[in-house]
C-alpha cells in the first residue's frame, strides 16, 4: 500500500468538517474499548505482566536470527511450507504460485494488517481470484472499498445507519434492519464463501518458535473457518511476531485480549500446528510466509527498534485523544494512531511517513495503555528530531524556532518582546500562526503586566 501520510493535516481537517459522524462513531467506540481495557488491566498485576511481556519480546528481538531459524525448522517438521519474503513482491510470488497450481478462484481471508501492507487483495484480484474478507468489520469496509481505520475494529468509523444503508443497497435489507439481522445476512454470504473457497489467508498474532505453532485470536469464528475449511492455508507472519516458548502464550494471549478489547481471552484462539494428518479433516497445504518488509532495518535502528514489540492490539489507538477525533483514515497508511506515528516512519521512510510523528500532543496516554511498554512519546520525539534534522519540517517552522531561540536566549530581548506583546496592537489575523490560534479561540489576552514586572512589586514583602 502506498502511504498518503503527507495529507494527514488536510485529511484530518476535512474529515472533521465534512464527516462529523466519524468523530462521534470513533470516540464512542474507542472510549468503550478504553473503559473495558482499564477494567481488565485492574483485575491482574498488570505492571508485572507488561514488564514480563516487554522482556520476552526484547529477548526475541535481540535473538531474532536464532528464533527465526528455530521456527523455520519446527514449521518444516510440522509439514508447513516456509517462505521468506523480504518485500511485498516476494510474498506475491508465493501467492501467485499457489493460485496457479491449485487453480484458486475464490479465497477467504481472516483479518490481517500485514496483508494490507503487502497489498494481498489487489494482487489476488488481479489474478482473477474473488477475495472475501470474513471478519465482519473487514467485510463491511471491503464492500465500501475503504482501508481499515483501526487495527482491531477496521470499521470503527461507521455508524449503524451507514451499515444499514450499505446493506440495503447491496442486499435489499430494510433500512432499519437490526444489527443482528445485518449480521445474519453477512453470515449467509460468508458461509457460502467459506464452503467454496480453495484458499484461506490469514495473518498470525504469534508464531511460537519452540513448537512451530501459529496462534490466532478472534471473536467471530471466521479465522478458524478461514484457516481450516479451504484446502490451502497461507499465513503471513511478520518476523517480529515470534515468541520463544509455547508457555509464553499463557501470558501473551490474555495480555493481548485485555489490551485490545478488555476481554480475559479472545472468544476463539486457534493454535495451528500444520496441515491435516492422515484421517484428519483440514487443509492439505499450510504455508507460512515470514515477512520482513522493513522490519530488519528497523531492528537495526538503535533508537526506534522497540517499536517492533508491538502486538497490534490497538490499545494505543483507543487511548489516543488525537486518533479519537478522526479514526485512522487521515493517517494515510496501514497503521494509524500513536503506533502508526512511530511504526510507519520505521517501516517506510521518515520522508514518506512525515508528518505522522506530529499527529500527537505527547499526552502519554498511549504509553500507559501499551501492553509491551513501547515508549511511544519518546519515539515520537526521536522521529520529530530526525525530521527537523533532515529538513522535513516546514522552513517557516525552523525560522520561527530560530527566532524563538534568539529571543529566549536574551532576557533583554525577551523583555522587549513582552512589552511588544502588550504595547503594540498585534496583527492577530495577519500572522498565519496567530490566526490558526485565534480563529478557534479568540484573541490572545496577555496579563496586564507580566510576572517579571510584578515581581518587583511583590519582591519585598507581600
Partner 1 sequence: MRVALFITCLADQFYAEAGVAAVRLLRALGVEVDFPEGQTCCGQPAFNAGHWDEARPLAKRTLEVFEEAEYVVLPSGSCASMVKNHYPELLPGNREALAMAEKTYELSQFLVRVLGVEKLGEGLKGRKVAYHHGCHALRELGVREEPLLLLQNAGAEVLPWEAWEECCGFGGLFSVKLPEVSLAMADRKLATLPEAEVLTSTDAGCLLHLSGRMGKKGLGLRVAPLATLLWEAYAG
Residues lying near partner 1 in the complex (CB under 8 A) are found at 9, 12-13, 16-17, 23, 27, 321-322, 324-326, 357-365, 367-368, 378, 381, 383-389, 393, 397-398, 401-402, 404-405, 407-411, 414, 418, 421, 433, 436-437, 439-442, 444-455, 458-459, 462
State how beta strands 130-133 and 232-238 pair: unpaired
CB crowding 270-282: b at 16 or more within 10 Å, else e: bebbbbeeeeeeb
C-beta of 255 vs 319, nearer to partner 1: 319
> Between the CA of residue 224 and those of 40, 109, 282, 320, 423, what are the distances in Å?
25, 11, 11, 31, 71
Kindly give, in sequence order, each residue whose CB lies less than 8 Å from that of residue 185, ignoring residues fewer than 6 positions away: 167, 171, 173, 177
Write down the residue that cell numbers 445474519 correspond to: 184
Query: Is 77:212 a contact under the CB 8 Å cutoff?
Result: yes
> Between the CA of residue 113 and those of 1, 7, 246, 418, what are the distances in Å?
11, 21, 24, 51
C-beta of 104 vs 339, nearer to partner 1: 339
C-beta of 247 vs 455, nearer to partner 1: 455
Q: Quote the least distance from Cβ 246 to partner 1, whole Å.
A: 36
C-beta of 245 vs 419, nearer to partner 1: 419
C-beta of 101 vs 419, nearer to partner 1: 419
Q: Quote the least distance from Cβ 284 to partner 1, whole Å.
A: 50
Q: Quote the least distance from Cβ 298 to partner 1, whole Å.
A: 19
Q: Quote the least distance from Cβ 2 to partner 1, whole Å.
A: 23
Q: 130: helix, coil or strand?
A: strand
Q: Quote the least distance from Cβ 384 to partner 1, whole Å.
A: 3
Helices within 78-171 (DSSP H only): 88-102, 113-118, 120-126, 136-144, 160-171
C-beta of 52 vs 386, nearer to partner 1: 386
Q: Quote the least distance from Cβ 48 to partner 1, whole Å.
A: 19
One DSSP character per residue, 306-330 reads GGGG-----HHHHH-TTHHHH-SGG
Q: Quote the least distance from Cβ 158 to partner 1, whole Å.
A: 19
H helix or E strand, kind and range, residue 456: helix 451-458
Q: Rounded to an integer, what distance in angstroms lies between the CA atom of residue 397 and that of residue 70?
A: 49
C-beta of 79 vs 375, nearer to partner 1: 375
Q: Quote the least distance from Cβ 4 to partner 1, whole Å.
A: 16
C-beta of 81 vs 393, nearer to partner 1: 393
User: Per the structure block, which three cell numbers stand in for 281?
Assistant: 479433516
Write down the residue that cell numbers 513448537 correspond to: 211
Amino acid at each position: 500500500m502506498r502511504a498518503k501520510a503527507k495529507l494527514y493535516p488536510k485529511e484530518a481537517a476535512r474529515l472533521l468538517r465534512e464527516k462529523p459522524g466519524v468523530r462521534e462513531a470513533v470516540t464512542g467506540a474507542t472510549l468503550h474499548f478504553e473503559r473495558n481495557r482499564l477494567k481488565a488491566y485492574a483485575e491482574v498485576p498488570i505492571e508485572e505482566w507488561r514488564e514480563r511481556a516487554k522482556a520476552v519480546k526484547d529477548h526475541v528481538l535481540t535473538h531474532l536470527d536464532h528464533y527465526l531459524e528455530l521456527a523455520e525448522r519446527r514449521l518444516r517438521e510440522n509439514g508447513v511450507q516456509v517462505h521468506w519474503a523480504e518485500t511485498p513482491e516476494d510474498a506475491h510470488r508465493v501467492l501467485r504460485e499457489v493460485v496457479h497450481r491449485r487453480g484458486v478462484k475464490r479465497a477467504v481471508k481472516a483479518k490481517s494488517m500485514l496483508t494490507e501492507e503487502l497489498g494481498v487483495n489487489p494482487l489476488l484480484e488481479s489474478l482473477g481470484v474473488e477475495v472475501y474478507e470474513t471478519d465482519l468489520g473487514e467485510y463491511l469496509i471491503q464492500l465500501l472499498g475503504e482501508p481499515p481505520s483501526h487495527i482491531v475494529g477496521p470499521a470503527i468509523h461507521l455508524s449503524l445507519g451507514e451499515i444499514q444503508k450499505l446493506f440495503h443497497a447491496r442486499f435489499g435489507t430494510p433500512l432499519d434492519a437490526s444489527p443482528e439481522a445485518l449480521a445474519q445476512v453477512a453470515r449467509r454470504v460468508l458461509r457460502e464463501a467459506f464452503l467454496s473457497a480453495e484458499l484461506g489467508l490469514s495473518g498470525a498474532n504469534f508464531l511460537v518458535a519452540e513448537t512451530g505453532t501459529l496462534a490466532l485470536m478472534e471473536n467471530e469464528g471466521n479465522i478458524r473457518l478461514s484457516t481450516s475449511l479451504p484446502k490451502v492455508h497461507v499465513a503471513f507472519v511478520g518476523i517480529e511476531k515470534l515468541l520463544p516458548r509455547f508457555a509464553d502464550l499463557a501470558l501473551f494471549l490474555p495480555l493481548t485480549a485485555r489490551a485490545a478489547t478488555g476481554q480475559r481471552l479472545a472468544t476463539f484462539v486457534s493454535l495451528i500446528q500444520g496441515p491435516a494428518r492422515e484421517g484428519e479433516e483440514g487443509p492439505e497445504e499450510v504455508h507460512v510466509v515470514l515477512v520482513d518488509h522493513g522490519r530488519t532495518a528497523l531492528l537495526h535502528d538503535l533508537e526506534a527498534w522497540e517499536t517492533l514489540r508491538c502486538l497490534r492490539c490497538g490499545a494505543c489507538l483507543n487511548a489516543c485523544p488525537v486518533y479519537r477525533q478522526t479514526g485512522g483514515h487521515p493517517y494515510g497508511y496501514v497503521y494509524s494512531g500513536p503506533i502508526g506515528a512511530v511504526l510507519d516512519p520505521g517501516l517506510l521512510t521518515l520522508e514518506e511517513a512525515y508528518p505522522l510523528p506530529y499527529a500527537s500532543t505527547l499526552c502519554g496516554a498511549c504509553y500507559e495503555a501499551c501492553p509491551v511498554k513501547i515508549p511511544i512519546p519518546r519515539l515520537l520525539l526521536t522521529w520529530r528530531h530526525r525530521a527537523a534534522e533532515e529538513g522535513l519540517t516546514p522552513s517557516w517552522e525552523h525560522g520561527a524556532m530560530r527566532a524563538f531561540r534568539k529571543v529566549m536566549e536574551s532576557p533583554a530581548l525577551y523583555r522587549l518582546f513582552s512589552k511588544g506583546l502588550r504595547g503594540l496592537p498585534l496583527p492577530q489575523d495577519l500572522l498565519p500562526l496567530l490566526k490558526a490560534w485565534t480563529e478557534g479561540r479568540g484573541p490572545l489576552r496577555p496579563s496586564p503586566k507580566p510576572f517579571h514586572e510584578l515581581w518587583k512589586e511583590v519582591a519585598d514583602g507581600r
